[in-house]
Structure 1
């Protein structure tokens, strides 16, 4: 495992915050030239770092700690009745694990998802370069999880990284016309089931920002842990 103290980190200049209107942000990046093995990446994940394409980063804002890393301890997680119903709605789907790659099929689904669900986000409008740099250019232990219906139609893709202590949910895109299936929620529930079946202790869901409505869904997967002042704190439902 690479010695974390030997790694070099670089902070960006201030830029507009992607989550809070009117706020600025800074980002801390691991040296993109460093060779990061799975053990080191796993350790960085426990310190609140995420991956986007070839870049491993975490927020580094002056005077703001709104972005909080969240993970689900799989052994504590219990499916609610509403979540069980979502699982039942999607029992007909098959899931395949593949290596990251570009395909017209993937990109068509991705484009529809961005165009219909995220017109107000940083990823709009979608582009081939963006798709490849963000999702295809991953790590050795990155996978695409394909979700298909009985006719073989691609309904969703979850991009995940395998860590030594769990799985990191990088991104999911899905058919925006199938709202009754609740595919976004289903893909996370499926990942939790996968972690349980493969004895992976944690599912990492990225950052949670209390004031950001788009991130509120993450707290539905409780109990969860938040990284507060360097320690993971268990938050149980009231």
Structure 2
């Protein structure tokens, strides 16, 4: 499939089937495209609104033939309201401060990244990443990318978020945190920090990637309400009344790119 920009045709490729890392027993396929080049920012903005995610210089979206469990989700930050549990998380982490820094890999970050991977995802591909792999994940980007480092009052690094800046919001690419501080729910705290940061920037949305209802790793994203999901080509509010059944085409390669 191709999408023609004013400068050059955009080529899309489909990957070979691979075991799904989120839903046991299923296979995944992705449609991918290179977003490098002079049109990278504009193309990335349009693809993000169409449900794509970025990794390095590639944008991708799921196109699994027999499964539509991956649902693009975003938070309209102006109307986000933390629930009782989230308010407790905010109070618990009130002394932890987030600092926006350039997208440059450091050994301090990588040490925390390795501890997180070994504790939470020891059987995943990312656990085998060395520092140079990590640096590529952070720095190999053709668009405006930044990081937020979360530190205690003693300057201990406890959480890191990698973020892309879009014309209509921020996109949370990847986060990791100190696995010995699991009781603090630092992942949820980081999302709420990014929601507040997006609001301060005057941007409407925080993109959270894919929500997967049946995956313990990905289901948490629906807790940040109100939320919107990309359903049959349009962003629509997520609620119990309009929640689509799995297999009903929740996330599909879009026919047209939203403006």
TM category (shorter chain) comes to over 0.9
Q: Which region of structure 1 is more displaced relative to structure 2, 84-93 or 107-116?
A: 84-93
Please report how far the alpha carbon of residue 172 of structure 1 lies from its aligned counterpart in structure 2 after TM superposition. Answer: 0.7
Comparing 137-146 with 123-132, which one deviates more in the overlay?
Answer: 123-132
Match of 1:165 among 157, 165, 168: 168
Give the superposition deviation at 1:33.
5.0
Is 1:202 the counterpart of 2:202 in the alignment? no
What is the rounded CA distance, in whole Å, between the counterparts of 1:89 and 1:37 in structure 2? 39
The match for 1:121 is 124
- Report 1:3-152 matches (<5 A): 3=6, 6-31=9-34, 33-152=36-155
Query: Distance in 2 between the 1:183 and 1:139 partners?
Result: 28
Following superposition, the deviation at residue 188 of structure 1 comes to 0.2
Q: Does the Cα contact within 8 Å between 1:222 and 1:236 map onto a contact in 2?
A: no
Unaligned regions of 5+ residues in structure 1, if any? none
The answer to whether the 8 Å contact 1:25/1:61 transfers is yes
- Listed as ranges, the matches of 1:167-186 within 5 Å are 167-186=170-189
List runs of 5+ in structure 2 lacking aligned partners. 242-259
User: Any conservation in 2 of the 1:27–1:59 contact (CA below 8 Å)?
Assistant: yes
What do residues 83-106 of structure 1 show as CA deviations (whole Å, max 9, x unaligned)?
A: 122112222122221111121101
Asked if residue 192 in structure 1 is aligned to residue 183 in structure 2, the reply is no
Contact 1:135–1:159 (CA under 8 A) maintained in structure 2? yes
Partner of 1:167: helix, strand, or coil? strand
Task: Decide whether aligned partners of structure 1 residues 33 and 88 sit closer, same or farther in structure 2, where only a CA change above 3 A counts.
Answer: closer
SS of equivalent to 2:127: coil
How many equivalent residue pairs?
238
Normalising by the residue count of structure 1, what TM-score does the alignment of the two structures yield?
Answer: 0.92
Is 1:174–1:184's contact at 8 Å kept on the other side of the alignment?
A: yes
| Greater relative CO (CA pairs within 8 A, separation 6+) | 2
Q: Against the structure 1 CA distance between its residues 35 and 19, is the aligned structure 2 distance closer, same or farther, given a 3 Å change threshold?
A: farther
- Find the partner of 2:231 among 228, 233, 236: 228
Q: Distance in 1 between matches of 2:207 and 2:7?
A: 20
